[in-house]
Structure 1
Amino acid sequence: MSIEAELRAEFDRWERRETTTLKALPYLLLAASSLLTLLQPTWDMPLHVPTVLGLILTATLWLLFFHTLHPEWHENAPLMGLYYAGLMVLAAGLVAVAPFFTLFTFVGYPQAIQYLVGRWRYVGVAVTATISAVGYLGGAANIVDGAWREWIAVSMISIVLAEAFFYFAVLSDQRNLKQKQALAELHEANAKLEAALEENAGLHAQLLVQAREAGVLDERQRIARDIHDTLAQGLAGILTQLQAAEQILAAEQADDPSASRRHVTNAMNLARESLTEARRTVHAVEPAVLAEARLPDAINDVARRWAEVHHVETVLTTTGDARPMHADVEVALLRTAQEALANVAKHARASRVGLTLSYMEDLVTLDVRDDGVGFEPGARRANGSTNGGFGLAGMRQRVQRLAGRLDIESEPGGGTAISAAVPAIPAGGAD
């Protein structure tokens, strides 16, 4: 159990005991005073029993009606002021006929706190002390017989002492009330904190779901890019080589079997490479050429083989300090080179392609330029798609995933230039 719960439980127990005591105290004091009065064998003054019994019955009914049976009246200050005044009149009458009822008169102190408000509490205490002083001096008869000076003196002393004790009792009651309020505020604050924690837990769970969804989407995009950059390009190359072989056969150039055999061999090699890249894509590992060589050598190998297949002059230039980069950086640049060359083969009808790989202090850039027919970036084709299609979008996603940038410059008849720039994250750097 927490400290707050223990304090609250302790306050609740104390409050229940206090409530029970205050409910029963008037009846207990009245019963004790009645027994002492009625069982006393001798008296210095005659006791009128019917009067005493009548006052006892009236006081009991008065307490029962206001104090016990109608708790909803307890918040009605004027009504409870009337009740307190009546109770003090009955207490004065009992003390006047039998001094032992001074014991019952003590109930005026706690009930002044319980039912009176403001300065009326101190008035109630003064009245209770004055009535009690009658009992201290042996009853009203003695005061009438000449003890009124003593009664005034005892009353004044009783009032001063009672008011002093009452003042400290009120302070204690106010302190207890403030403690209860503080405890209630603490409980409310804890409830708000728990609600906030629950809300945060819900938000955390929602963020986890969104993170998983984002991870799934990112993985789908990665696979789509890899399939496009490897399988799709490989299959397109295979189709080109087989179409070339078919054209040779159709032109009845079978007397030169080496030409058709060369195209078939190229198609078989492309098929093997595509199968290898497909397997590596499934296992999410780096491309085979990067696993066996550094990035400049890997791009140069890709450019050389592409040039051999498409009979286009291709030159790679490397500048700066060529150093190992993070695998994601090298894969992004290699795939950009592959996709750029594939686009040149499909659309550019170029005679020369130049690639520039530049290592700078904080960036690594790859520029691919061709002297082909060019295009209007963003213009729509006849089928409704935009120039560049998924290839350019895939390249852009790759470099942007690394906080990089992809720029495309082209115009009809003026060739095309693609520039990819990514942060120079060294091998073994942070993901």
Structure 2
Amino acid sequence: MSIEAELRAEFDRWERREIALFNVLPYLLLAASVLLTLLQPIWVTPVHVPTMLGLTLAATLWVLYFHTLHPEWHEHGPLMGLYYTGLMVLAAGLVAIAPFFALFAFVGYPQSFIYLKGRWRYAGVAATATVSAIGYLGGVADIVAGRWWEGIAVTVISILLAGVFFHFAELADQRNHKQRQALTELHEVNTKLEAALEENAGLHAQLLVQAREAGVLDERQRMAREIHDTLAQGLAGILTQLQAAEQTDDPAASGRHLTNAMNLARESLTEARRTVHAVEPAMLAQARLPDAINELARRWAEVHDVDTVLTTTGDARPMHADVEVTLLRTAQEALANVAKHARASRVGLTLSYMEDLVTLDVRDDGVGFAPGAKRANGSTNGGFGLAGMRQRVQRLAGRLDIESEPGGGTAISAVVPAIPAGGVD
């Protein structure tokens, strides 16, 4: 059980005990007053028993009717003011007959606190203190017989003391009310917090599902990009070399084309294995990025017989693996597009290291194209290869720009953050 629940349970127990005692207190005090009055020696204070019993019965019925049988009246201010006035009149009559009924008059203190409001509470306390003081001094007869000054003094003192104690009781009740209110508000806050936690748990589960789905989609896209950049391009290169070998009558040229096809097959197989295991390309595993791109360009130039030059500027320093893989794959895809579509005679690659960025520019002097224009087969320029390049670059919060026009060649520029090796993933 929580501390809040324990406090609420403790408050509830005390409240039930107070209510139970408050409900039976008038009858207990009235019975005790009657018993003490009847047991006292008759020569101490003569009592007219029939009158005393009549007033006792009247007081019992009065309390029973208002206090016990009609709890719905307890919040009705004027009606309970009438009840309290009648209660004090009956208590004063009983005290006038027998001083022991000052015990019964004591019930006026808690009942004024419960049934009266505002300043009327203190008026009830003053009335109760006055009736009780008369009983303490032996009744009205003793006061009238010559102790009137003592009666006045005791009454005033009783009223003052009762008012002070009543004031502190009122402060304590206000403090208890605030504590109960605070516990209620705390309970409401905890209820809302539990509801929020349940909602957050549901959202968390939903986010996990979405993250899992996003992870699956991201992995599919990665595999698609890698297959396109390795197997698809490798198979296209192999097919090109085999077709060239088939079409030539020169044994030496045919052998060269077959050798290129075999080398492409080996490289494609190696890259496929690395793709499955999600490791970096073989070129980057063996060399730095400028050397890897330079080797890629050299092999491509040999296969396609196109003049290719790489220029590196800036401080060529190790970059995060994702940065280097993205730029290497961009160079690879850009060269593949030149081979398939550009019919270029020269390609220039520029790798630039700046303070916060790394850029790769690939320019050719080929036939160019109109970006977004449809090809003869109905597809638009910029198929999966360009989309894959753009996805790779954007995953690193980078940018891919393509400039081209028919007859004016093509320029592809990839810009990515210069994340150093060992930097934040």
User: SS at the partner of 2:74?
Assistant: helix
Quick check: 104-113 or 162-171, which moved more? 162-171
Name the counterpart of 2:278. 284
Matched, 1:225 2:219: no
Name the counterpart of 2:159. 159
Name the counterpart of 1:66. 66
Matched, 1:119 2:119: yes
* Separation (CA, whole Å) in 2 of partners of 1:22 and 1:188: 30
Name the counterpart of 2:55. 55
Quick check: 134-143 or 404-413, which moved more? 134-143
* Separation (CA, whole Å) in 2 of partners of 1:164 and 1:190: 39
* Separation (CA, whole Å) in 1 of partners of 2:62 and 2:398: 90
* Separation (CA, whole Å) in 2 of partners of 1:294 and 1:152: 109
What are the Cα deviations for residues 255-274 of structure 1, in whole angstroms up to 9, with x where unaligned? x4444444333333222221
What are the Cα deviations for residues 356-406 of structure 1, in whole angstroms up to 9, with x where unaligned? 222333332222111111001122335443211111111111122222222
Name the counterpart of 1:368. 362
What are the Cα deviations for residues 144-196 of structure 1, in whole angstroms up to 9, with x where unaligned? 66665554444333323322322232222223223333333344444444444
Matched, 1:424 2:406: no
What are the Cα deviations for residues 65-88 of structure 1, in whole angstroms up to 9, with x where unaligned? 222232222111112112111211
Name the counterpart of 1:235. 235
- What is the one-letter code of the residue matched to 2:73? W
User: SS at the partner of 1:281?
Assistant: helix
* Separation (CA, whole Å) in 1 of partners of 2:166 and 2:314: 92
User: SS at the partner of 2:402?
Assistant: strand
Q: How many residue pairs are counted as aligned between the two chains?
A: 425
- What is the one-letter code of the residue matched to 1:80? M
Return the TM-score normalized by structure 2.
0.91
Quick check: 266-275 or 42-51, which moved more? 42-51
- What is the one-letter code of the residue matched to 1:176? N
Name the counterpart of 1:323. 317
* Separation (CA, whole Å) in 1 of partners of 2:317 and 2:141: 118
* Separation (CA, whole Å) in 1 of partners of 2:169 and 2:355: 80
User: SS at the partner of 2:25?
Assistant: helix
What are the Cα deviations for residues 192-218 of structure 1, in whole angstroms up to 9, with x where unaligned? 444444444544444444443333332
* Separation (CA, whole Å) in 2 of partners of 1:352 and 1:392: 20
Check whether the contact 2:45–2:98 (CA below 8 A) recurs between aligned residues.
no
* Separation (CA, whole Å) in 1 of partners of 2:166 and 2:258: 112
* Separation (CA, whole Å) in 2 of partners of 1:329 and 1:146: 111
Return the TM-score normalized by structure 1.
0.90
- Please show how residues 106-185 of structure 1 align to structure 2 within 5 Å: 106-142=106-142, 150-185=150-185
Post-superposition offset of 1:5? 4.0
CA-atom RMSD in angstroms:
2.5
Name the counterpart of 2:287. 293
* Separation (CA, whole Å) in 2 of partners of 1:79 and 1:157: 30
Gaps of 5+ in 1: none
Name the counterpart of 2:96. 96
Name the counterpart of 2:396. 402
* Separation (CA, whole Å) in 2 of partners of 1:56 and 1:169: 29
CA distance 1:426–1:144, change in 2 (3 Å): closer
Name the counterpart of 1:266. 260
* Separation (CA, whole Å) in 2 of partners of 1:152 and 1:362: 95
User: SS at the partner of 1:67?
Assistant: helix
User: SS at the partner of 1:217?
Assistant: helix
